Chain A
Amino acid sequence: MVKDQEYLIKKASYCLDLAKKYGATNSSIIVNNSISETVNFRNQKLDESNRSDNLSVNITTYINKKKSSISSSNLLDDNLETLIEKCVETTKNTPDDEFNSLPDNNLLVKEVKNLDLYDDTNFENDQKIDYLKNLEAAAANDDKIINTESGFTQNKSNFILANSEGFCKGYKRSSFTASSVTVAKNEESMERDYEYSSKCHIKDLKDAEELGKLAASQTLRKLNPKKIESEKIAIIFDKRIAKGILSTFANAISSSSISRGTSFLKDKINQKIFSSSINILDKPDILKGLGSRSFDSEGVKTETLKLVENGILKEYLLDTYNGKKLKLKSNGRCGGTTNLYFENGNINYKDLLDLNSKSLYITETIGHGSNIVTGDYSVGATGFLVENGEFKHPINEITIAGNFKDMFNNLNLANDLEFEYSTNSPTLMIEGMVVAGK
Chain B
Amino acid sequence: MSDFFKKSDLTRKQAESIISDTLRKCDDGELYLENTKSETILLDDNKIKNSNYNSDLGFGFRAISDEIVAYSHSNEISKNSLKQSSENLKSTLKSANGIYNYSIPKSNKKYYDNINPIEQKTLNSKLEILNKVNEYLRSKDDNVKQVTANFLGEQKSIEIIRSGGETLTDARPLTRFNVSVMLEKNGRKETGIYGVGGRESYDTYLKEDNWKKVCDEALRIASVNLESKPAPAGEMKVVLGPGWPAILIHEAVGHGLEGDFNRKKTSAFHNLMGQKVASEGVTIVDDGTLNKRRGSLSIDDEGTPTEKTVLIENGILKNFMQDRLNARLMKTKSTGSGRRENYRHIVLPRMRNTMMLSGKQTQDEMIKSVDKGIFAVSFGGGQVDITSGKFVFNCTEAYEIINGKIGYPIKGATLIGDGPSILKEVSMVGNDMMLDPGIGTCGKAGQGVPVGVAQPSILIDKMTVGGTKL
Q: Which residues of B contact A192 (CB under 8 A)?
A: 266, 385-388
**Chain A residues, Cβ within 8 Å of B385:** 192, 364, 366, 382
CB distance from B9 to the nearest CB of A (A): 11
Q: Which of A92-100, A167-175, A208-216, A289-297 contacts B (4 or more CB under 8 A)?
A: A92-100
Query: Within the assembled complex, what's the spacing in Å between the Cα atoms of A53 and B88?
Result: 12
B384's closest neighbor in chain A, by CB?
Answer: A366
- Given A183-B387, A366-B383, A382-B390: A55 touches B51 (CB 8 Å cut-off): no
**Residues of A contacting B266 in the complex (Cβ-Cβ under 8 angstroms):** 147, 183, 190, 192
Interface residues of A in 219-254 (CB under 8 A from B): 225, 227, 230-232
Asked whether A397 lies within 8 Å of B411 as measured between CB atoms, the reply is no
Complex Cα–Cα for A374 and B188 (A): 8
Does A47 interact with chain B (Cβ within 8 Å)?
yes
Q: Which residue of A lies closest to B267 (CB)?
A: A190
Alpha-carbon distance A85/B378, docked complex (angstroms) = 43
Tell me whether A380 and B72 are in contact in the complex, defined as CB-CB below 8 angstroms, given that A76-B7, A95-B127 are known contacts: no
Beta-carbon nearest neighbor of B180 in chain A:
A262
B53 touches A230 (CB 8 A): no
B67, B75, B234, B415: the one contacting A437 at CB < 8 Å is B234
Cβ contact within 8 Å between B52 and A52:
no
B residues within 8 A CB of A47? 67-69
A368/B383 in contact, CB under 8 A: yes
Pairwise interchain contact A434-B464, C-beta atoms closer than 8 A: no
Q: Given A55-B76, A192-B387, A230-B233, does the pair A380, B53 have CB atoms closer than 8 Å?
A: no
Within 8 A of B (CB), among A263-277: 264
Contact B413 A378 (CB under 8 A): yes
Contact B381 A373 (CB under 8 A): no
Complex Cα spacing A78 to B470, Å:
64
Given contacts A97-B48, A190-B387, contact A261 B464 (CB under 8 A): no
**Contact indicator A49/B56 (Cβ below 8 Å):** no
Residue-wise, chain A 416-438 has the 8 Å CB interface mask toward B (1 for contact) of: 00000000000000000011111
CB–CB A401/B233 < 8 A: yes
A94 B85 Cβ-Cβ under 8 A: no
Main secondary structure of the interface of A (DSSP, over half): strand
Residues of A within 8 A of B220 (CB): none
Instruction: Check: B412 CB closer than 8 A to any chain A CB.
Output: yes
User: Does A46 sit within 8 A of B, measured CB to CB?
Assistant: yes
Judged by a CB distance under 8 angstroms, whether A90 is at the interface is yes
Instruction: Check B264–A147 contact: CB distance below 8 A.
Output: yes
Closest CB of chain A to B150's CB: distance in Å?
14
B44 located at the interface, meaning its Cβ lies under 8 Å from any Cβ of chain A in the complex:
yes
Instruction: Tell me, yes or no, whether A369 is within 8 Å of chain B by CB.
Output: yes
What chain A residues lie within 8 Å of B51 (beta carbons)?
Answer: 68-69, 90, 94
* A434-B190 Cα distance, complex, nearest whole Å: 22
Whether A106 sits at the interface, judged by CB under 8 Å, is no
B45 touches A86 (CB 8 A): no
Please tell me if B14 contacts chain A, counting CB pairs below 8 Å.
no
Complex interface: chain B residues within 8 A of A261 (CB): 145-146, 182, 184, 189
B232 to chain A: closest residue by CB: A436
A402 contacts the other chain (CB 8 A): yes
Residue of B nearest to A434 (CB): B468
- Determine if B53 and A86 form an interchain contact, defined as CB atoms under 8 angstroms apart: yes
Q: Measured between C-beta atoms, what is the minimum distance from A375 to chain B in Å?
A: 10
Which of A78, A86, A190, A371 makes the CB contact (< 8 A) with B412?
A371
Report the count of interface residues on A (CB-CB < 8 A).
77
Let me know if A315 is at the binding interface, CB within 8 A.
Answer: no
Residue B57 CB within 8 A of the other chain: yes
> In the docked arrangement, what's the CA distance between A231 and B124, Å?
55
Q: Nearest-CB distance from A123 to chain B (Å)?
A: 15
Whether the pair A373, B182 counts as a contact (CB closer than 8 A) is yes
A53 touches B74 (CB 8 A): yes
Binary A-proximity of B89-129 (CB < 8 A = 1, otherwise 0): 10110000000000000000000000000000001100100
Produce 1/0 per residue, B303-346, CB < 8 A to A.
Answer: 00000000000000000000000000000000000000000101
Interface residues of B in 65-81 (CB under 8 A from A): 67-76, 81
Residues of A within 8 A of B382 (CB): 367
Residues of A within 8 Å of B57, CB to CB, are 72-74, 79
Given A147-B264, A262-B182, decide whether A190 and B388 contact each other with a Cβ distance below 8 A. Answer: yes
CB distance from B110 to the nearest CB of A (A): 27
Instruction: Determine if A259 and B67 form an interchain contact, defined as CB atoms under 8 angstroms apart.
Output: no
Is B444 in contact with chain A by the CB < 8 A criterion? no
Q: Which of A10-55 contact B (CB under 8 A)?
A: 42, 45-55
Determine whether the beta carbon of A54 is less than 8 Å from that of B146: no
Tell me, yes or no, whether A119 is within 8 Å of chain B by CB. Answer: no
Cβ distance B226 to chain A, nearest Cβ, rounded Å: 11
Q: Is A368 a contact partner of B56 (Cβ separation < 8 A)? A: no
Residue on A nearest B462 in the bound complex, by CB: A438
Interface presence of B175 (CB below 8 A): no
Tell me the nearest residue of chain B to A92, going by C-beta: B123
B426 within 8 A of partner (CB): no
Task: Select A90's contact among B53, B54, B268, beta carbons within 8 Å.
Answer: B53
Query: Are A380 and B390 interface neighbours, CB within 8 A?
Result: yes
Asked if B392 is at the interface of the complex by the 8 Å CB criterion, the answer is yes
List residues of chain B with CB within 8 A of the CB of A94: 48, 51, 127
Residues in chain B within 8 A of chain A (CB atoms): 7, 44-45, 47-58, 67-76, 81, 85, 88-89, 91-92, 123-124, 127, 145-146, 182, 184, 188-191, 231, 233-235, 264-266, 268, 344, 346, 380-388, 390-394, 411-418, 464-470
**23 pairs across A/B with beta carbons < 8 Å?**
A50-B71, A51-B85, A53-B72, A56-B75, A71-B52, A72-B57, A74-B55, A94-B48, A183-B266, A183-B387, A190-B268, A227-B464, A259-B45, A366-B385, A367-B414, A368-B381, A374-B411, A380-B390, A399-B415, A399-B466, A436-B233, A436-B464, A438-B234
Given contacts A50-B72, A72-B54, A369-B394, 5 further A-B contacts (CB under 8 A): A93-B124, A262-B191, A367-B394, A367-B414, A380-B390
The 6 A-B pairs with the shortest beta carbon distances in the complex, nearest first, are A399-B466, A380-B392, A436-B233, A367-B392, A192-B387, A49-B92
